[in-house]
Chain A
Amino acid sequence: MSTVWTAETGAAGWLDLPDDPEAMLDEADRLGWGDGLPFIPPTRARIEWLLAAAGIDPDHTAGVISPSGSQVTAAKVAANAVMAGCRPEVFPVVWTAMKAMVQPGFNHEGMQSTTHPTAPLVVVHGPIVQAAGFNAGIGTLGPGNRSNASVGRAVRLCLMNIGHARHGDGDYATHASPAKYAYCMAENSAESPWEPYYVSCGLDPEQSAVTIMGAEGPHHVNDHVSTDAVGVLSTIGSMVTVLGSNPTWLTNSQTIIVLGPEHAATIAKSGFTRRDVQAWLYQNARMPLSKYKTGGMWGMHIWPKWKQAITDDNALICPLDSPESFRIMVAGGPGKSSAVIPGDAMTRCWTVPIE
């Protein structure tokens, strides 16, 4: 392996930290590292352990990250992944997510600097979910699983540390959100009534994948009563037709609908496919134009020409531009709950293979 990274000096190179965990955390705070929480020291051995398991050269670069303009090298990503508590088997997920985010077209630049509370949601798909111990079931978006937690945290640490985006200094999120600590879940293909989401995107079932999208935190959907697809989707749709989310105002947005397995089963029992779900939401999750005009971004909205041409105040318009803008996944455990995760409308929802 190349040894360029091992010779780096200065604030971005090698340095000595106190052994004592509390003194180490104090020093890291002073240096401007991290998310304020304790971390695993990024030693050479630990970094090489992650890189060797993934077969990645430490000086290999994914691209340039904003606002720092720094190269996103595998060594830097691994250092942040070590800090987050990543085991080697999950490192390919972190590396794939970072590679995707710094590609032109994803627009991580907007996500890093905005006043919006957006955080990159990482969804893990395919064989790696089980192989690397991700939690796709009960509590998939919450704490308690090291793979989910460490991957989500590693991505955030990379954005903060490699990207030099900290609150008030590069990152201007008004409130931010807890999702900016760690935001990682896994698709529950085993309990989905349809083909897995990543397979519906054209990937091979045997190929593990990552979906990445800058997003709001999850909006809970509680429906204990509905016994058919229309009932459940009506409740879900009510969480889509909102004036405070970016997809309502900015064209080419995506929203992820995370169906709990029970809701997915109810919907499928009505004979709905994934495409039926998308079509139903697009046709029925709508508000009249008059309601949009009362919203806080009316006048600075960016709509496609066909939407701009609508002048009838009674015309019902979906916040999203197409059925395909609804991205339907199954995750979570037992319970009559689902989640609506609006995208930030600055980034795209991409699904990429883990190579």
Chain B
Amino acid sequence: MISVYSPLGLLPPVKGVSLNPLPVMSDAVTIAILDNSKHNFGALMDRVAAVVSQKYPEVQWHIERKPGAAHPAPDDIRERILEHANVVFTGSGD
């Protein structure tokens, strides 16, 4: 046997995250859609929004679109979402 140093990165400790509870669907709920700018994301979200609105017609919508898929959402978009919405629908990847 030979003693070697693993080339694998040391994973950082997993920190527990307390998720906000999902909002009770009511007049006051605003759902943000964060479009990741990938093809057909808008079409997918249109259908999702249609299904949600049919069941909860009082829901308000706040739409944002990332300038590009390969980078995180800029701070101003995140701040507007935090200001206006209770929950975010988004996606990752193609």
Contact = CB atoms under 8 A, between A and B. Distances in A.
A, B in one complex: yes
Interface of A: 5, 8, 11-19, 24, 31-34, 41-44, 47, 65, 68-72, 75-76, 79-80, 83, 107, 110, 114-115, 157-158, 161-164, 172, 250, 297, 299-300, 302, 345-346
Contacts of A12: 6, 8-11
A47 B71 contact: no
B93 A13 contact: no
A76 B39 CA distance: 38
Contacts, number: 110
Contact of B93 (A42, A80, A172): A172
Contact of B9 (A24, A41, A164): A164
A312 to B, nearest CB: 25
B9 A70 contact: yes
A70 B10 contact: yes
B7 A15 contact: no
Interface of B: 1-12, 37-39, 67-68, 70-71, 93-94
B71 to A, nearest CB: 6
A115 B93 contact: yes
A299 to B, nearest CB: 7
Contacts of A15: 3-4, 6
A47 B2 CA distance: 14
The 10 closest A-B pairs by CB, nearest first: A70-B9, A110-B70, A162-B9, A161-B7, A346-B70, A12-B10, A16-B1, A68-B9, A79-B7, A80-B7
Contacts of A8: 5-6, 10
B17 to A, nearest CB: 14
A163 B9 contact: yes
Contacts of A346: 70-71
Contacts of B38: 300
A5 B37 CA distance: 42
Contact of A44 (B5, B8, B67, B70): B5
Contact of A33 (B7, B10, B39): B7
A250 B11 contact: no
Given A19-B1, A19-B2, A114 B70 contact: yes
A297 B68 CA distance: 13
A297 B40 CA distance: 11
Contacts of A13: 5-6, 10
